[in-house]
Chain A
């Protein structure tokens, strides 16, 4: 079945470092992937969208890549700050069923 997998282990990094989160998809080829941020008890907030024909997308301190050969998207936060601590969700849609990964919790320590 179509699946999105994210690292379930929390990622702990030091302030100022680059956080890299991974999203792997199996058994389908999404036309695009989206990344969302979710804080506890709140709905997800959209961050970035990348299409299958785009290798990389940037927005301020955020960068996302899309590798259709590896069936993987990487999400980077540069110069991370404690305020970046949250759960980050990978999502794909279109004619495929709308699928979220389970999310990776990021903790940025001062």
Chain B
């Protein structure tokens, strides 16, 4: 059973460009969350997708957008890249508990290391 897979593993982009990162959740999971982790800091929540809709969103500008497909896989898009967008981008999959409030434990992918030059 494959866990969470992310692609690509590393990426170098130029300021102003656009990037798309991809995530396939663990089998049986229906919820995908995206995080940005700068060096030496904890992951910062970007947004969460459930049933192909954005369920929650953190404090990130509209340049960050996402999508979830019917097979539960997800994409993170970042437009007009800034140097400060350089970070490790983590995808986590989980299942919403029946109360639809809590998440079960999240399984993380290895992340995509994005460098903006």
Contacts and interface: CB of A to CB of B under 8 A. Distances in A.
Interface in A40-92: 41-46, 49, 89, 91
B90 interface: yes
Interface residues of B, number: 24
Nearest to B108: A43
Interface residues of A, number: 24
B101 to A, nearest CB: 5
B82 interface: no
Contacts of B88: 41
A98 B31 CA distance: 13
Interface string A3-41: 000100000000000000000000000011010100001
A97 B58 contact: yes
Contacts of A34: 105-106
Interface of B: 4, 33, 35, 41-45, 48, 56, 58, 88, 90, 92, 101-103, 105-111
Interface of A: 6, 31-32, 34, 36, 41-46, 49, 89, 91, 93-95, 97-103
